[in-house]
Structure 1
Amino acid sequence: MRIGLVVDSACDLPLEYLQRNRIHLLPITVRIGQAVLADHRNEEATLQFLNTHLAERGFEAETTPFSVQQIRDLFVSQFAIEYDYVFCMTITKTRSPVYENANQASFAILNDYRPVRSAAGINTPFALRVIDTLNLFAAQGITAVESVRLRDAGEGAPKIRARLEHLALHTHGYLIPRDLNYLRARTRVRGDRSVSFLSATLGTALDIKPVLHCNRGETGPVAKIKGYENAAQKLLEFTARKAGASGGDGLLTPTVCLSYGGELAELRALPGYERLRTVCRDNNVELFESVMSLTGMVNVGKGALVVGFAAEKAEFAG
């Protein structure tokens, strides 16, 4: 069976990895004023757009995912011919309409694929599954990497589906914003009151950074730590302990994903990074690093750090 894999462009994995493993993108378009860019995970284009437009008016950005019709057309014209079964893994539906669009499109796809597939000389059925990763950004990468491992190991679609849906429930994403005023301005534009004016003002004045945690689609603060670099160090060291632990205290998959709202050299200079890299290497855990998607950066701001991994237990204590 030919199994295809699809993610949206908020999924923070390196473009080289996506291309090498034939993971297709549902791009999200970002508009800031008159400037428009379709996010295809091109780090150079993302950083250029970031430096040119994001600092001034990024919080006003409009993000537009593929519509139901665009997703239907892409699947019917391309994926229904190239593959027999496709897994489409999306950003959590609590933060974006990508999942709902893809899920609605799936009904039309399954009704419309037969003539196109038959014209290509393929008479076997086509199927797909839309999976809500229940997470954001770097944490979305966990299910994508696992789907590659399972597909390349020759596992069938039912086993892959069960594994990915289980993994999504136990994937944890952690986010540290650098600029709380930007994050508050962005949440106001989105109608999200999760960062109040008072907490943003006090946090900026006192240099207090929240550590936000996402699991099963729900996002909230789990710690408040003085100083961005201190917060980053605590989070990276916490992740290193999970990567080096065994049994129920360790990781469910040998994968840690990092993304950063800027140049990767800045990520690698953060305290705690080298320790995490060493622990991952010594424990055969793959460490993925990527520039955060443009979609992510317009929502959480420049310089934000995101960590993703899967574990049964993940209680961060700052």
Structure 2
Amino acid sequence: MKIQIVADSAADLPLEFVLKNNIEVVPMNIQFGDQTFKDGIELSKEAFYEKMSISKDVPKTSLPAPQAFVEAFNKAKDKGPILSITISAATSGTYQSALVAKSMFDHPIEVIDSLNISMGTGLQIMKAQELIDQGLSLEEVKEEILRNRNNYHTFIAIKDLENVIKGGRISNWKGNIAQFLDIKPILNLFPDGSIKVVANIRGRKKQLRRVLELFQETNKDVSKEPFVILHAKAPQDELDYLIKEIRRILNPKEIILGELGPAMGSHGGFGSIGFAF
């Protein structure tokens, strides 16, 4: 019996990959005011961004309850052992929900904290699927993912601080000063799974140039691996520039381009661009 993967929607996996590999995706909860939606089931990405554009309040996200993982595990367990890779436990309680659900089963289930978010988690899931297709056992796949999970890099370039300010992640007065000075933060995932600001750059063009430099400073060879760009309705000219420069300086095997899901899109706001490799 083949190993089955259970993910959460905050991994931002490409739909075609999910469908091709029969991956069970546990939805995050997205809240607009007093309305709550299941990510990807009751609210598409397009509908999410449309709602965010007209909402006075910043949308909030919350972790799936253990019962959501129980339901996903029940769907997968008759097909084989289960591997669940979640977004970082430092940013969400999703990992703990999966562990609670696992404790309710007498079935081979492994749960891994990716120490990452969005497609930083998604790339680990894609690697796990590749190893599964090669015939590795559940324990072998788990060991390989754990050994390499800190080799994945994730950066986020924030364009507009509106959601950051409204969400209370920085005070109004600090946020207003930063906006007046045209400050554009760059966030990075650290080895412990936490997200921290690694640069505050004046101006969008300088921000994007700096993020390209940060990619190079990782010294990671991506010539045989995909490079992922996910964005929250970023302008096409910015995306074209980034794709051109990433191909020139890093020469990745392929570039996967898509939209950030609600989990990251709600925090970063419109124009944010996430990178994973």
Q: Bin the TM-score by the shorter chain.
A: 0.7 to 0.9
Shift of 1:275: 2.3
| Other-structure match for 1:256 | 227
Q: Tell me the residue number matched to 1:179.
A: 160
TM superposition shift of 1:298: 1.5
Are the aligned partners of 1:237 and 1:272 in contact in 2 as well (CA < 8 Å)?
no
Task: Give 1:128's match in structure 2, choosing from 95, 109, 119.
Answer: 109
- 1:109 aligned to 2:108? no
**Aligned residue number for residue 32 of structure 1:** 32
Q: Could you tell me which residue of structure 2 aligns to residue 313 of structure 1?
A: none
Asked whether 1:157 is paired with 2:138, we answer: yes
**Higher CA-based Rg:** 1
- 1:273 is aligned to 243
Query: For the residues of structure 2 that align with 1:252 and 1:41, how far apart are their CA atoms?
Result: 35
Q: Tell me whether 67-76 or 92-101 shows the greater mean CA deviation.
A: 67-76
- Counterparts of 1:41-190 in structure 2, within 5 Å, are 45-59=44-58, 61-76=59-74, 78-83=75-80, 85-110=81-106, 126-186=107-167, 188=168
Aligned partner of 1:214 in structure 2 is 189
Q: Deviations over 1:126-180 (max 9, x none)?
A: 3111111111113112211211211112222222101111222332211111122
Q: Which amino acid aligns with 2:265?
A: M
TM-score, with normalisation over the residues of structure 2? 0.88
Q: 1:196 to 1:168 in 2, by over 3 A?
A: farther
Give a deviation string over 1:222-275, Cα, whole Å, max 9, x none: 112121233123324543x479x6xxx535971322211126846633x33222
- 1:103-140, CA deviations, whole angstroms, 9 ceiling, x for partnerless residues? 11101022xxxxxxxxxxxxxxx311111111111311
What is the rounded CA distance, in whole Å, between the counterparts of 1:73 and 1:22 in structure 2?
A: 15
SS of the residue aligned with 2:276? strand
Change over 3 Å in CA distance of 1:34–1:253 after alignment to 2: farther
Unaligned runs of 5+ in 2: none
Q: 172-181 or 92-101: which moved more?
A: 172-181
Residue of 163, 187, 205 corresponding to 1:229: 205
Distance 1:58 1:133, change over 3 A: farther
Cα distance 1:41–1:203, how it changes in 2: closer, same or farther (>3 A)?
farther
Q: Flag the 1:266–1:95 CA change in 2: closer, same or farther, 3 A.
A: farther
Contact 2:26 2:72 in 1 (8 A): no
Check 1:202–1:253 CA distance in 2 against 1; reply closer, same or farther (3 A cut): farther
Deviates more, 1:230-239 or 1:211-220: 230-239
Quick one: structure 1 residues 185 and 176, their matched pair in 2 at CA, closer, same or farther if it must change by over 3 Å? same
Cα distance in 2, alignment partners of residues 173 and 231 from structure 1: 15
Q: Distance in 2 between matches of 1:80 and 1:150?
A: 19
Number of residue pairs matched by the alignment: 276
Cα 1:198–1:33 change in 2 (3 A) is closer
**Structure-1 residue corresponding to 2:180:** 205
One-letter code of the match for 2:269? G
CA change 1:219–1:49 in 2 (3 A) is closer
Cα deviation for residue 27 of structure 1 reads: 0.6
Distance 1:308 1:129 in 2: 24
The RMSD of aligned alpha carbons is: 2.7
In 2, distance between residues paired with 1:220 and 1:204?
19
SS of residue matched to 2:105: helix
Task: Decide which structure has greater helix share.
Answer: 1
Normalising by structure 1, report the TM-score: 0.77
The offset of 1:41, in angstroms, is 7.8
